[in-house]
Structure 1
Amino acid sequence: MNKQQQPAMGVPMGEPAVGEFSSGLCDCFSDVSLCCLTCWCPCITFGRIAEIVDKGSSSCGVSGALYSLLMVFTGCQFIYSCTYRSKMKAQYGIPENSCGDCCTHFWCETCALCQEYRELQYRGYDVALGWHGNMEKANQGMTMPPSMPGGMTR
């Protein structure tokens, strides 16, 4: 997809193959800044993903904080993040593989989070804005027509 072509909110320009993400698991370096953010602060990347996948019912901050607590105290944050991969796959009609998704997050957590973030971008979201920011951005295109003066005047 050309950089000038941006998909409409939630509607991709070209569909990926059935049952696949729009980018590969190991395409992390296609967006170096995202890769660095996810390596050093995966809680931020995860929180942003969770807010979009949950359609605003959970906040980036709360999801990211819970992810951080799980990471620090149990080391099992991958279980939490793989549930969001499953939710996202269900939303976009990508066949789910619970065991495979869990293994992907266990062995390649950073790559999996980057792939999910890129997928949301591909689907038309500015993930950094969050759910409500994306909804406001989508609604800005709908403006009121200019008002016309009523009746004839001299």
Structure 2
Amino acid sequence: MADSASRGEAPWSTGLFDCFSDCSLCCQTTFCPCITFGRSAEIIMKGSSSCCENCLLYAAIQYLTGSLFSILYGCYYRRKLRQQYGLKASPCHDYCVHCFCHYCALCQEYRELRNQGFDMKIGWNANVDRGVTMAPVAEGGMKR
């Protein structure tokens, strides 16, 4: 039997509604979600785009199109994060999570990356210099 991480069923390290466990992140995301998104997207994309680029793009999408396209944009990155770390699509599909709990989803994604060992404030390159570049390898189950 394959382990849960290989099937995309590993649990998130924090719950979707654990926003208030980190009040500074909660406030940052409430008042300037583009920063939370930008930092997470830089790590998820392994530095192929900077925090500033992601932040500005998210802010422009939010300003020019309203919530719909920023939700879709956030959903795309949530899916990539889940694939990288083998996380469950819970409590529901990525689009529904971002549609109904967008800021909570941004906070959860940020916390997940931080709990995986990334220092979110220093960006991808500085994390690479620290030796943090990928998800830990999941141990496989016993096989014959």
The aligned counterpart of 2:57 is 66
Structure 2 unaligned residues grouped into runs of 5+: 1-8, 133-144
Distance (Å, rounded) in 2 between the aligned partners of 1:52 and 1:70:
20
* Residues 1:29 and 2:20 are matched in the alignment: yes
The aligned amino acid for 2:29 is: T
* CA positional deviation for 1:133: 1.2
How high is the TM-score relative to the length of structure 2? 0.79
* CA positional deviation for 1:94: 1.5
The aligned counterpart of 1:125 is 118
Partner SS state of residue 128, structure 1: coil
Report percent identity of matched pairs: 51
User: What do you get for the CA RMSD once the two structures are aligned?
Assistant: 1.6
Contact 1:90-1:96 at 8 Å conserved across structures = no
Contact 2:12-2:88 at 8 Å conserved across structures = no
The aligned counterpart of 1:79 is 72
* Residues 1:42 and 2:33 are matched in the alignment: yes
* CA positional deviation for 1:135: 1.2
Structure showing the higher helix proportion among its residues: 2
Structure with higher RCO (Cα < 8 A, 6+ apart): 2
* Residues 1:135 and 2:120 are matched in the alignment: no
The aligned counterpart of 2:100 is 107
- Structure number with bigger Rg: 1
The aligned amino acid for 1:67 is: Y
User: 1:98-150, CA deviations, whole angstroms, 9 ceiling, x for partnerless residues?
Assistant: x71111111111100000000001100001111001112238xxxxxxxxxxx
Structure 1 unaligned residues grouped into runs of 5+: 1-17, 140-154
How high is the TM-score relative to the length of structure 1? 0.74
**Matched length:** 121
Distance (Å, rounded) in 2 between the aligned partners of 1:91 and 1:136:
20
Q: Superposed, which structure 2 residues align to 1:79-98 within 5 Å?
A: 79-96=72-89
